[in-house]
Amino acid sequence: MIRAAVALLATLVLSSPLLAAGTVSDFQLDNGMKVVVIEDHRAPVVVHMVWYRAGSADEPPGQSGVAHFLEHLLFKGTDTLAPGEFSATVALNGGTDNAFTSYDYTAYYQRVAADRLPLMMKMEADRMKNLRLSEGDIVTERNVILEERNMRVENNASALFREQLAAAQYLNHRYGVPVIGWRHEMAELGLDDALSFYGTYYSPNDAILVVAGDVQPDAVLDLAKQYYGVIPANPDLPAERYRSAEPPQTAERRLLFRDARVAQPYVVRSYLAPERDSGAQTDAAALAILAEVLGGSTTSIMAEKLQFDSKTALYTAAYYGGTSLDRTTFELVVVPAPGVTMQQAEDAMDDVLSGLLENGIDEERLARVKMQVRASEIYALDDTEGLANRYGRALTQGLTIQDVQEWPNVLQAVSVADVLDVARRVLDRRQSVTGWLMSEEVGQ
């Protein structure tokens, strides 16, 4: 009876197209700024986000970390706002705000009552072009980001290991440089570096405004014209986002990272993989499904074979970072069980991969994974801020609104043949890095 109910649920979940939550409208201002409005009228709340198509991979050589540094500096003053007044004003109006930087974008957001949207736009538009910085601001905030690196990276053996893994994975592309920056370059960042990056990229024709919540599209557009539309476009914005191209990878790389602070050793294998491209999302969808099949849950292949059958591993996982402007990675993780060496754990992982490529995937497993993915996509529609993030990330990385809306159904269209085809192309040791994170004492 239970099995029949599950089968019926799977049929219902998989049989109809997944519709986007609410209504999504988009506009473009005369100065080139894109405006996206996601309606959600369940509560009188709004999420206001400005995304810049500029992240750490867009930094000039020798200035790693300047994108993240500038993110911090944007909370300093303007002609009309004192340092710290921006966030204080948001808090006084009952809201929250923050910002984040990644390889391909920098984003600033506030979550407030819907009637506070005009104030948020006014302040965000102000700091888009009117940031005022002093040498004192530079010294203070540079110390802040250096301390952030100490806390997040230098004091974390796994984070240091991951930095080395990315640097080994990318031979030439800026994705091999940490978003926060290399410490020796962060320490040299100055006022001119910050202002140069700001002057180049912080313009309406390089920005995307995403507003999600209890709003009407026409009203948002009117406000966007009032506050952002009066800012002139930057005529010197580069026509294309120049990135140093990654050459063909023809040699497997290995990394052994030892640190006395490591309490739990683990094995990582990272493969260079295609990103999710506009109008051509099938490979990315197949890789996303492959990650779920191999290591997405306790019912995945690696969990079943390594954690439960052979008891070789305490934990297994697979990840695919598809939302990326340029080539990304597909990653596998195995945490060996007590008494299992790192080499035995790696060999067991490779046995799983060989079995997958030789024997394929049964249709029942694929259907189960696709149902889990479908459920996850449906639950995500209930998160207004998550939807704003989804559209913002996608649009800064070359995807369109249509791509975002079609993605759930592209995932459901993936076949066993699609998964095996992309697995054979991506799981190539010549374009991989295998890393072992170990304490000083652990044997190999």
Nearest to 65 by CA among 203, 197, 242: 197
Joined together, the tokens standing for residue 20 give 């986007």
Q: List, for residues 220-273, the tens digit of each pLDDT value.
A: 999 999 999 999 999 999 988 988 999 999 999 999 999 999 999 999 999 999
CA distance 284 to 411: 9
Token pair belonging to 220: 């948002």
Is 71 designated active site? yes
CB 358 within 8 A of CB 352: no
Q: Does residue 13 have a pLDDT over 90?
A: no
Q: What is the CATH number of domain 19-227?
A: 3.30.830.10
Q: What is the rounded distance in angstroms from the CA atom of residue 113 to the CA atom of residue 94?
A: 7
213: left (phi over 0), alpha (psi -120 to 50) or beta: left
Mean pLDDT of the region 326-340: 97
Cα distance between residue 173 and residue 431, in whole Å: 14
**C-alpha span between 239 and 357 (Å, rounded):** 42
Sign, CA torsion 145/389/108/94: negative
Condensed to tens digits (0 to 9), the pLDDT of residues 196-227 reads 999 999 999 999 999 999 999 999 999 999 99
Write the pLDDT tens digit of every residue in 405-435.
Answer: 999 999 999 999 999 999 999 999 999 999 9
CATH ID of 253-438, from 3.30.1370.140, 3.40.1160.10, 3.40.50.170, 3.30.830.10: 3.30.830.10
User: Please, which pLDDT band fits residue 308 given cuts at 50, 70 and 90?
Assistant: very high
Q: Which amino acid type is present at position 330?
A: F
* Whole-number Å distance between alpha carbons of 226 and 117: 12
Q: Mean pLDDT throughout 114-125?
A: 98
Give the tens place of pLDDT for each residue, 379-402.
Answer: 988 899 999 999 999 999 999 999
- Note the pLDDT tens digit of each residue in 78-98: 999 999 999 999 999 999 999
pLDDT score of 328: 97
Q: What is the pLDDT of residue 440?
A: 78
Structure tokens given for 132: 């005022």
Long-range contacts, stretch 353-360, CB < 8 angstroms, 24+ apart: 353/427, 355/305, 356/293, 356/294, 356/301, 356/420, 356/423, 357/420, 357/423, 357/424, 357/427, 360/416, 360/420
Helices first, then strands: H and E counts in the chain: 16, 11
Confidence class for position 2, pLDDT limits 50, 70, 90: very low
DSSP per-residue codes, 155-195: T-HHHHHHHHHHHHH-SSSGGGS-TT--HHHHTT--HHHHH
Helix spans in 323-415 (H)? 342-359, 363-380, 384-396, 401-412
Q: Please give the pLDDT value at position 8.
A: 41
What Å distances lie between residue 56 and 60, 193, 285, 423, CA to CA? 9, 13, 26, 29
Residue range(s) of every CATH 3.30.830.10 domain in the chain: 19-227, 253-438
Report how far Cα 108 is from the mean position of its chain's Cα atoms.
15
Model pLDDT, residue 345: 98
Residue of 39, 71, 246, 346 marked active site:
71
- Whole-number Å distance between alpha carbons of 375 and 412: 11
In the chain, the percentage of residues whose pLDDT exceeds 70 is 94
The arithmetic mean of pLDDT across residues 44-73, rounded, is 97
Quickly state the pLDDT bin for 14 (edges 50, 70, 90): very low
> Do residues 35 and 26 make contact, with C-beta atoms less than 8 angstroms apart?
yes
Would you state the pLDDT for residue 242? 86
What three-state secondary structure class fits 111?
strand
